[in-house]
Amino acid sequence: MSSIREELTEVYEDLLFANGFDEAIIGVESSNHRVVYDVEKMVEILVNREGMDSCEAREFLEFNTLFAWVGEKTPIYLYTKEEILCQNI
Residues 19-40 pLDDT 10s:
999 999 999 999 999 999 999 9
Question: Region 43-58: what's the mean pLDDT?
Answer: 95
How far does CA 29 lie from the centroid of its chain? 13
Host domain of residue 47: 4-87
Count up the domains in the chain and report the number.
1
Using CB atoms within 10 A of its CB, is residue 57 exposed (0-12), middle (13-18) or buried (19+)?
buried
**Is-contact 46 58, C-beta < 8 A?**
no
Q: Kindly tell me if the per-residue pLDDT of 89 is higher than 50.
A: no
Phi, psi dihedrals of residue 78, rounded to the nearest 5°: -105, 130
Give the C-alpha separation, 29 to 42, whole Å: 18
Q: What is the pLDDT of residue 2?
A: 77
